[in-house]
Amino acid sequence: MNLTIVGAGAGAFLAFMSFQFGLWGFLGSLLFMVVGAVLGRAADGRLDLRRVWEALIGRRSSS
């Protein structure tokens, strides 16, 4: 699927949530989209959540 179409769809969804439910609907849907993207990348094997956690708590460098 073309990433331009995916981006336009995500933008349309966020605009709908903003108009329909206001700022909190927009922020809530944005938060769930980010969480879904992170979990999707982890499920695909493109993101190691253990290494991310270790970088966040300072055990390991991010590079």
- pLDDT tens-digit readout, 37-55: 999 998 988 899 999 889 8
DSSP-derived letter for residue 62 is -
**Confidence label for 9 from pLDDT (cuts 50, 70 and 90):** very high
Which alpha helices (DSSP H) does 1-63 contain, by range? 3-44, 49-57
pTM: 0.73
State the average pLDDT for the chain: 89
Task: Give φ, ψ of 24 to 5 degrees.
Answer: -70, -35
